[in-house]
Chain A
Amino acid sequence: MDAQVLARWQFGITTVYHFFFVPVTLGTAWLVAVMETRWLRTKDVQWLRMTKFFAKLFLINFAAGVVTGIVQEFQFGMNWSEYSRFFGDIFGAPLALEALVAFFLESTFIGIWIFGWDRLSGPVHNLMIYLTALGGTISAVFILAANAFMQNPAGATYNNGRAELVDFSMLFTNPFFIAAFSHQIPAALMVSGGLLAGVAGWKLAKVAKEAPEGTVHPDAGIWRKTAKMGAYVLLVASIAVMGSGHYQAQVGAKFQPMKLAASEGLLDTQTAAGFAIVGIYTQERDAEGITRVTEVFSWEVPYVLSVLAFNDPNAEVQGINDLTEQYLTDGHRAWDGSRNQLQEEFSSELAQLSVDPVPNVMVSFWSFRMMMGLGFVSMGIALLILWFTRKGGTPPTNNLWKYTMGTLPFFPLIANSFGWILTEMGRQPWIIYGVLPTWTANSPNVGAASVLTSMIAYTLVYGIIAVVVLKLFFTYIAKGLPDVSPPKVRTDDDAPLSFAY
């Protein structure tokens, strides 16, 4: 396989893997912070125990997120040197700012929070985890702004043989940034809500079973409250996810019509376009090197796609075939025939490259449906939890409930993965949409053997980390709520620390 293809696989593997930990960190930091606040407000030690229980899971996850994140910061230069050279004037700034503004905040205050139980007063200690959570959310701002530029390169010009920044603020007014941020933050909260609800829902059933007949387990109350908290977070977040997802589809329909067409399996431009619930498509390159897509089967609901894309049941939605012809004659265009400054200025150079403008249709189509489907499943389970826990109720203690709870966090988590697979695979063949194809951007001096070496090394190491993380998660979930004594600010230097590695 050639080095560029391997480099793409490696980026895909390492990024998807890293992103298993990111949503958990983003959302759970806020939820743990809220739990600590609830303890400080109510003085109910059960909330302190719950804070420490989920903090443990949070930190196991956080460590894996940190170490796999370092790879991401370096991978652009290592594997995508020509991308870095061409777009670094724009793309580098949000990455540097992410480290300076967000990572320092997150890493410093999480350290203080972990070790500071007996060094800071309650509210100040609580503030530390809020600052950690804020750090995570700010990092999402910068990295999503960087990614939005790849989707829709606004605010740049072609000059000196590279892309140059003309307006920094356009990184943040980019509609793709606004759509992605408002989609990603609640999507992360769905994962964390799912984690709380799933773990607590299972523990509630378990402790209820353990309690002798006619008695109530002392921890049942707090597990129920936590299960409800998680379910509500998931459900409220899912409403935000659906709203911002709809906005994202509309932005996509305008500026990335080919990605939208591929994710919907829409071959020909149509008015009153239907939404295919399921579909099978094949694609192959013709003699000119252009991908031709055929529909094997699809089952459509009329009008829905037009509504999804343009809020109008009769709107025209562009199809893959027409967009391909348009690209071959006229280059990349937004839905209204426009291009942004960088796309326009680079178009004559781009015309020298023969680009096959069609992404992988099956991957785009099915990752979109997997994302939505898994999201809906998690919402259904959250409703089920609320139903069973209503009025102090207890869920059934059978295996079905156990496995439903055990898998609940994974539904929104894998939905996050599929969302990004759609975003990035659907963006192909472009590394920067409508400007530069991906195959021009890798490091020409890093050969296939080197990439293969690193890919195998990352896969092995990440595999080990996955085993360790899962083992620790299961162990600590099984252990349940820790015994705690409310922390006091230390006065004796010889006394044991409240926490040590």
Chain B
Amino acid sequence: MTHEQLIFIWFLLIAVLWIGFFFLEGFDFGVAMLYPVIGKDPTERRVMINTVGPTWDGNEVWLITAGGAMFAAFPGWYATLFSGLYLPLLLVLLGLIARGVAFEYRALMPDDNWRDTFDWSATIGSLIVSLVLGIAFANMWRGMPVAGDPPHLTQGLLELFHPFGLLGGALTVTLFIVHGAVFLCLKTADSVREKANRAVKMLGPIAVALLAAFIVIGNIAYPASNNPYLGSGAGVAMWVTGAISVAALGYAIVMHSESGNQARENQAFIGTGLSILMLFVTIFIKMYGTLGFVSADDSFNMNVAASTPYTLRVMSIAALIFVPIVLAYSAWSYYIFRKRISTKNMPAATNAPVSATSGY
């Protein structure tokens, strides 16, 4: 394979990893952001937490792998982006820490304050990560200026909070909340399931509006034609993928089911999943070649940022072997915990650290 082909494949793979992360961890974030809405009752909140309990950590590895893959395949991208977005990424890391400790520690002390503190920590952490990554990807759609050798971001921190950036942040937060609510509809029973369906109905239209605005403004204000690496078809493609994203989200909202119809809930989850997929496909199309940057003399692009063909080939072989294995056992873990859970399933001694029924 030529270097160009390898670079294309790795750009694609990194897009897949980010999309996988947003699809999977998107509902984890959404569930945590919904604690204050759906989970006011402690037992119901506990049900919510335990829908993602067994799998959230594996979902987060998609992000770690995306970061690692950027480092390995495009060291220049990793270096310029991560140092350029230093403070926003710091917020992401602090958010991930805040929510990461919450799962394991919340139930370990028989104390309401302790538990509520960690649940808020999960909610706020998830909100920060969703918001900042949304702002960041909106800016990558827009294109961030780089210059110099080595190439570095030349815009200030405040420039990230351009209205389109803020729209992106608001969008990811709302979209993940709806995705999380749809996920809860699928994974819970009784009261939590009803409340989750109601949340989809209430918040869904807002998400559709934000998504539609984001796609339309993005495609008009920062169209594919800005990107020298894209052919003439890309503009159409971005409109099409964007439109599918909006339509899929609309479909998910229509499919929500207060009467608890499993088939409709399945469709709704496919809808929000497809919507997230297509949103980020649209953004990654725009980032092709430029990696989400604008360099006046084209001194920085994916070819400059890429690793050698040899490294990319080694990595490709590893990915070819391990990605299917990872997908297989991840799917198995979801299969094991496929059953809906409800307040009835919560072990009796809610907060007791040690009891016969809660195991350890």
Contacts and interface: CB of A to CB of B under 8 A. Distances in A.
Interface string A212-226: 000000000000000
A453 B79 contact: no
A156 B86 CA distance: 29
B86 A454 contact: yes
A89 B307 CA distance: 5
A475, A496, A500: most-surrounded residue (chain B CB, <10 A): A500
Contacts of A479: 353-354
A499 B86 contact: no
Interface stretch (B50-58, B166-174, B207-215): B50-58
Nearest to A52: B360
Interface in A100-115: 100-101, 103-105, 107-112, 114-115
A497 B75 contact: no
Contacts of B65: 96, 99-100, 103-104
A232 to B, nearest CB: 24
A68 B98 CA distance: 11
B220 interface: no
Contact of B93 (A70, A99, A105, A111): A70
Task: Please indicate which of the listed interface residues B93, B96, B333 has the most CB atoms of chain A within 10 Å of its own CB.
Answer: B93
Nearest to A108: B58
Contacts of A95: 68, 71-72
Contacts of A91: 71
Contact of A443 (B83, B100, B340): B83
A19 B313 CA distance: 32
Contacts of A96: 65, 68-69, 71-73, 315
A77 B315 contact: no
Interface string B323-360: 10010011001001101111011111000011111111
B77 to A, nearest CB: 9
Contacts of B50: 497, 500-501
A98 B340 CA distance: 33
Contact of B61 (A53, A89, A103, A468): A103
Contacts of A495: 345
A470 interface: no
Nearest to B90: A454
A120 B335 CA distance: 12
B87 A92 contact: no
A101 B354 contact: no
A66 B93 contact: no
Contacts of A340: none
A89 B75 contact: yes
B12 interface: no
Contacts, number: 285
A373 interface: no
Interface residues of B, number: 84
Contacts of A202: none
B107 interface: yes
Contacts of A88: 71-72, 75-76, 78-79, 307
A206 interface: no
Contacts of B106: 501
A56 interface: yes
A351 interface: no
B330 A499 contact: no
Contacts of A485: 356
B109 interface: yes
Contact of B103 (A105, A109, A501): A501
A496 B346 contact: yes
B101 A77 contact: no
B57 A70 contact: no
A108 B328 CA distance: 11
A91 B358 CA distance: 44
Interface of A: 52-53, 55-56, 59-60, 62-64, 66-68, 70-71, 73-74, 76-79, 81-82, 84-85, 87-93, 95-101, 103-105, 107-112, 114-117, 119-120, 164-166, 168, 443-446, 450, 453-454, 457, 461, 465, 468, 472, 475-476, 479, 482-485, 487, 493-501
6 tightest A-B contacts by CB? A88-B75, A77-B82, A92-B72, A52-B360, A96-B68, A92-B71
